[in-house]
């Protein structure tokens, strides 16, 4: 047989095989579709005398578990997504129909082209911190959603711990089911109801912080922190530790980084004392000499090598401590040392800002404050202490600089402090 005839016969055989496979696949799809339609008919036999959301919910809750599972399966089928009348009744008048949410229904951040498209259509996009009113709207929407779709662990709707391995407390089926319910119930359009100018991506990020139920770093006990360090020393993954403690993975990472030297595994010491500062300066000079680094070329210091020699300090601790304090001591060897910042110094700083009455934060003369506090601190630490104070007011971003200073003044300074504070600033002015 010639090569051409052989090739032609081979192609015809392959084509017949492909046709048979397509026919088998089509038959399977038809069988599945017929089963889904049968299930759909069973679901449609549910009737309510009064088409209210509560009645529909009670009907759904009274269904057998296998029928409810069929409802979820049908909702994932493209043929029935728009014809799931039970979910439609539950979500009646609870979904956001804002043009912004209909135009960009995904949870990804808006690109420049998306923002320009919204502007051309006259759609306003609001960013920045959420107001109290917006948070209350989201909270009401969330409470209604978990009432309409009750599950044991509502935080799974948000999608936290989706990558954690199966455990005794939660398996993958529970996570998948919660995610399916969130998808069928259109959770993000439910949360966006009443917030027409907030993109869904920002609503999603805010929901993660508000409704995940995860512990924040400030709420962790000493036992929790020690438990995190113990699990880390036993080789457990960050995501698994976060699930055990029920906090964000970045919180676990921060605790480990602040307490364990990642290069040596040694436990870190939190406070720097004078003797350690001297040893730190000596170590820096030794490393600079070993690597042939010029005396004042501090940007080239290999902090990994310094941390390895210090043993009980991490790279981040060494670098930050050098930039905030040690560089000043190395450049000013005659300086007699820096005292610890006390509550009294905090009150003096707040009182000074209150008396100066700056209109904006950018108008603050930090050089002036540096001179007043040179006996206890350096320039960088004064600015850092002010930022720390400012962040104690959770709503500082919603306030002007004057309002924020007034808030701190009322929080920290009592009437019996004013005489001493006035004397401090008067003495400094006279000097």
DSSP 110-155: PPHHHHHHHHHTT-----SSPPHHHHHHHHHHHHHHHHHS--S-GG
Counting other chains too, the contacts that 69-74 makes at CB distance below 8 Å and 24 or more residues apart are 70/36, 70/39, 70/42, 70/43, 71/43, 71/184, 72/177, 72/180, 72/181, 72/184, 73/36, 73/39, 74/36, 74/39, 74/40, 74/43
Three-state SS at 50: coil
Q: Are residues 71 and 118 in the same domain?
A: no
Domain hosting 31: range is 3-90
Higher per-residue confidence, 264 vs 345: 345
Grade residue 68 by pLDDT with cuts at 50, 70 and 90.
very low
- Under the banding of pLDDT at 50, 70 and 90, the label for residue 99 is very high
pLDDT at residue 60, as a whole number: 45
Is residue 19, in this structure, part of any structural domain at all? Answer: yes
- With cut-offs at 50, 70 and 90, classify the pLDDT of residue 64: very low
Residue 171 lies in a domain: yes
- Whether residues 155 and 53 share a domain: the answer is no
Whether residue 75 is predicted with pLDDT greater than 50 in this model: the reply is no
Q: pLDDT (tens digit, 9 = 90+) per residue, 243-277? A: 888 888 888 888 888 777 666 666 766 678 878 88
In the predicted structure, residue 67 carries a pLDDT above the cut 60: no
Task: Please indicate, yes or no, if residue 407 is contained in any of the structural domains.
Answer: yes
CATH number for the domain that contains residue 238: 1.10.10
The DSSP 8-state label assigned to residue 375 in this structure reads T
Q: Quote the percentage of the chain above a pLDDT of 70.
A: 70
What is d(CA 70, CA 176) in angstroms, rounded to the nearest whole number? Answer: 14
Tell me: pLDDT of 385 over 60: yes
Q: Please check whether residues 186 and 242 belong to one and the same domain.
A: no
Residues 53 and 150 in one domain: no
**Domain total of the chain:** 5
Alpha helices in 234-273 (DSSP H): 238-245, 249-259
* Over residues 185-196, mean pLDDT: 90
Four-residue CA torsion sign, 380, 386, 391, 397: negative
Q: Considering only residues 162 and 175, tell me which one the structure prediction assigns the higher pLDDT.
A: 175
State yes or no: pLDDT of 62 exceeds 60. no
Question: Does some domain include residue 137?
Answer: yes
Residue at 25 is within a domain: yes
Average per-residue pLDDT in the chain? 75
Domain end point (choices 63, 90, 117): 90
38 has a pLDDT exceeding 70:
no
Q: Are residues 43 and 60 in the same domain?
A: yes
- The reply to whether 195 and 122 lie within a common domain is yes
Is the confidence at residue 232, as pLDDT, over 80? yes
Comparing 185 with 30, the larger pLDDT belongs to 185
Alpha carbon 362 to its chain's center: 28
pLDDT, position 366:
82
Is the entire prediction scored with pTM above 0.85? no
The three-point CA angle 51-55-60 to 5° equals: 115
Considering only CA atoms, give the Rg of the chain: 32
Please, is 57 exposed, middle or buried when counting C-beta atoms within 10 Å of its C-beta (0-12, 13-18, 19+)?
Answer: middle
Same domain, 202 and 222: no
What local confidence, expressed as pLDDT, does residue 18 receive? 56
Distance CA 342, CA 363 (A): 25
The DSSP-derived string for 393-424 is STTGGGS-HHHHHHHHHHHH--GGGHHHHHHH
How far is it, in rounded angstroms, from Cα 175 to Cα 194?
A: 28
Q: Does one domain contain both 28 and 75?
A: yes
Tens-place pLDDT, residues 316-325: 888 888 887 7
Q: What whole-number distance in Å separates Cα of residue 413 and Cα of residue 351?
A: 8
Mean of the pLDDT values across residues 140-168? 75
pLDDT confidence of residue 100: 92
Whether the CA torsion 405, 411, 415, 421 is positive or negative: it is negative
Give the pLDDT confidence score for residue 81 in this predicted structure.
42
Of 162, 166, 146, the residue nearest 154 (C-alpha): 146
| Res 91: pLDDT | 76
Q: What is the mean pLDDT of residues 100-125?
A: 89
- Residue 74, in any domain of the structure: yes
Mean pLDDT computed over 204-213: 86
280 and 365 together in one domain:
no
264 inside domain = no
Residues 215/247, Cβ–Cβ less than 8 Å = yes
**Between 281 and 262, whose confidence is greater?**
281
Please say if the pLDDT value at position 362 is more than 50.
yes
Contacts of 152 (CB under 8 A, 6+ apart): 174
Note whether residue 201 is domain-resident.
yes
Who contacts 377 (Cβ-Cβ below 8 Å, separation ≥6)?
Answer: 338, 341, 345, 385
One domain for residues 280 and 308: yes
Same domain flag for 121 and 58: no
């Amino acid at each position: 047989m010639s090569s051409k005839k052989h090739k032609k016969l081979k192609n015809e055989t392959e084509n017949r095989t492909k046709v048979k496979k397509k026919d088998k696949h089509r038959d399977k799809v038809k069988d599945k579709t017929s089963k889904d339609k049968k299930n759909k008919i069973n679901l449609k036999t549910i009737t309510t005398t009064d088409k209210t959301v509560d009645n529909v919910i009670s009907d759904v809750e009274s269904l057998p578990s296998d029928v409810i599972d069929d409802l979820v399966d049908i909702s994932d089928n493209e043929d029935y997504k728009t014809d799931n009348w039970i979910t439609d009744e539950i979500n009646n008048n609870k979904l956001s129909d804002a043009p912004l949410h209909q135009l960009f229904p995904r949870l990804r951040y808006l690109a420049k082209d998306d923002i320009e498209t919204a502007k051309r259509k006259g759609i306003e996009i609001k960013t920045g911190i959420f107001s109290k009113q917006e948070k209350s709207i989201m909270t009401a929407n969330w409470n209604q959603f978990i009432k309409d779709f009750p599950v044991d662990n509502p935080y799974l709707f948000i999608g936290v711990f989706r990558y954690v391995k199966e455990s005794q407390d939660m398996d993958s089926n529970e996570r998948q089911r919660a995610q399916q319910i969130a998808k069928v119930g259109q959770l993000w359009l439910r949360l966006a109801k009443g917030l027409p100018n907030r993109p869904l991506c920002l609503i999603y990020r805010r929901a993660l912080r508000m409704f995940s139920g995860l512990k924040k770093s400030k709420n962790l006990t000493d036992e929790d922190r020690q438990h995190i360090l113990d699990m880390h020393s036993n080789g457990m993954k960050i995501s698994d530790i976060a699930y055990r403690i029920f906090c964000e993975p970045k919180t676990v990472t921060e605790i480990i980084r602040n307490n364990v030297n990642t290069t040596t595994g040694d436990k870190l010491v939190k406070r720097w004392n004078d003797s350690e500062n001297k040893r730190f300066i000596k170590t820096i000079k030794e490393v600079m000499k070993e690597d042939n680094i010029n005396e004042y070329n501090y940007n080239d210091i290999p902090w990994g090598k310094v941390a390895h020699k210090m043993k009980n300090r991490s790279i981040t601790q060494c670098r930050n401590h050098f930039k905030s304090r040690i560089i000043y001591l190395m450049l000013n060897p005659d300086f007699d040392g820096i005292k610890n910042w006390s509550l009294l110094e905090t009150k003096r700083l707040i009182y000074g800002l209150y008396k100066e009455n700056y209109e904006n934060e950018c108008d603050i003369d930090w050089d002036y404050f540096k001179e007043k506090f040179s006996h206890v601190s350096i320039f960088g630490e004064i600015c850092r202490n002010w930022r720390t104070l400012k962040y104690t007011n959770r709503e500082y971003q919603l306030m002007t600089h004057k309002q924020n200073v007034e808030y701190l003044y009322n929080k920290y300074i009592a009437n019996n402090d004013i005489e001493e504070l006035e004397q401090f600033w008067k003495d400094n002015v006279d000097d």
